[in-house]
Amino acid sequence: MPNQPLCFVLMPFGRKPGASGAVVDFDAVYKTLIAPAIAQAEMAPLRADEEMTGGVIHKPMFERLILCEFAVADLTTANANVFYELGLRHAIRSWSTVLIFAEGSGQLPFDVAPLRALPYRLGADGKPDEASVEGARRALAERLVEARQAATDSPLFQLVEGFPDIQRLKTDVFRDRVRYSEEAKQKLAAARKQGADAVRAVERELGKIADAESAVVIDLFLSYRAVKAWQEMIDLVGKMSLPLAATVMVQEQLALALNRAGRGDEAERALKSVLDRRGPSSETYGLLGRVYKDRWEAAQKAGDRFAANGLLKKAMEAYLQGFEADWRDAYPGVNAVTLMELAEPPDPRREELVRVVAYAVKRRIAAGQPDYWDHATLLELAVLGRNPQDAEAACADAFAALREGWEAETTARNLRLIGEARERRGERLQWADDITAALAKRAQG
């Protein structure tokens, strides 16, 4: 799978007659203009095969339209398939779609005429004009680079107020927000309760993963996570369709699996690649912080004090960058505060940051539909603040919202680290130890 973002190309194929009767060689347009421009913009081109049969778009086309981060649409000849695909793309993606057309190929239809499309010239042979193709490539590459800034280019998102901007669904609620085979959903729900072998059996029933419904594949992916089948998660990414495997959510969760499987270096590279491609993200930085946090623990156990100190600092800063990327996401914020508490001596910045994190999570809870992590964050903050009443209340709420055992395991681990750090300073809170033990027990089922 390429490390570069995927750019899907919407265009006719072969040689097609233009408005003036002249033939346009679209394969030459792709090979000499579009593909080189995409490569120049440091993206990977992905062109569909002829997938329209009897007017029906097949599943791979829908996946590419929805999941590829960038797209180029050639509007020359006003091809009906291209316009249908462009309409789907504009309905799903608020930005990252670049339009081009051949000069002299006829007037663009009324609905797209106002859109910002790049022209290119054709020669008498229907191929890109040799004298101007280099400039056209450069202009297209520049427009694709510009598209990385996430400026809205979909007229639907520009003109319809309040239209939902769906860029990436939250991992932990993905299964509940998509529609897919009810039978597969029920089988995976049952398999998660039975263990990894049962989840593997469901995968075998699905057949070729690249041809399965994307939502089912993601549910399978997260089901492997629920049963801690890290290698199966890693292997599954290699079986997915390329656009699905390249999505931010899949790459983030792949990094989580790599880290849990003891392949932290690969996890770090995967997360840094996502950050390079998509910019700062609270979730990506949160996962990167976890990679450094695990290395810090390993260095501590090995007695390598200097390496441990350096890794603790890297973990702390990664979590901070995640919280600063989105102040509404308290998860990286509470992890930053916790690591500041674990530092020797404790980082003084924690006293100010803890109030900001607490405000962020309380606002999220007040907005409705809080999840496990919201209550777990309040629990951790209460332990950090030495407040047993708030800690017990948050613990009860966290237990009620618990979905998978690994969530309780993660919180118990954090509380145990806090307790160990304080014990080294001569302080022990029995009530906090009791909560940690209850979480650890719940994690085991």
Query: CB neighbours of 186 closer than 8 A, spacing ≥ 6?
Result: none
CATH class for the region spanning 6-159:
alpha beta
Whether 309 and 347 have beta carbons less than 8 Å apart is answered as: no
Rounded distance between C-alpha atoms, residue 218 and residue 427, angstroms: 44
Q: 207: which 2 tokens?
A: 């057949």
CB 222 within 8 A of CB 233: no
The two structure tokens encoding residue 93: 């993606």
Distance CA 392, CA 2 (A): 47
pLDDT of residue 3: 67
Could you report the per-residue pLDDT of 389-434, keeping only the tens digit for each?
999 999 999 999 998 888 999 999 999 999 999 999 999 999 999 9
**Spatial contact of 259 and 291, defined as CB atoms under 8 Å apart:** yes
Peptide bond into 345 cis (omega under 30): yes
In the chain, what percentage of residues exceed pLDDT 70? 87
Q: What is the pLDDT of residues 272-304, one digit of tens each?
A: 999 988 888 999 999 999 999 999 999 999 999
The predicted pLDDT at position 92 comes to 84
In terms of C-beta density within 10 A (0-12 exposed, 13-18 middle, 19 or more buried), how is residue 218 classed?
buried
Query: Distance between CA 341 and CA 352 in Å, rounded?
Result: 12
What residue ranges of the chain are covered by domains with CATH 3.40.50?
Answer: 6-159
**What are the pLDDT digits (tens) for 180-226?**
566 788 899 999 999 999 999 999 999 899 888 788 899 999 999 99
Categorize the per-residue pLDDT at 63 as very low, low, confident or very high, splitting at 50, 70 and 90: confident
Using CA of residue 198, residue 202, residue 205, residue 209, what is the dihedral sign?
Answer: negative
Going through 213-344 in order, the beta strands assigned E by DSSP cover none
More confident call, 54 vs 445: 445
**What are the backbone angles phi and psi of residue 384, rounded to the nearest 5°?**
-60, -35
In terms of phi and psi (left: phi > 0; alpha: psi -120 to 50; beta: otherwise), the region of 55 is left
Look at the block and give the residue holding tokens 């260095």.
299
How many other C-beta atoms are found inside a 10 Å radius of the C-beta of residue 8? 27
What single DSSP character describes residue 346? P
Measuring CA to CA, which residue among 43, 47, 37 is closest to residue 82? 47
Mean pLDDT to the nearest integer, 95-123? 75
Place of tokens 């508490």: 341
Q: Average pLDDT over the chain, rounded to whole?
A: 87
> What's residue 368's pLDDT?
83
- Cβ 166 vs Cβ 96: under 8 Å: no
Task: Please give the pLDDT value at position 56.
Answer: 44
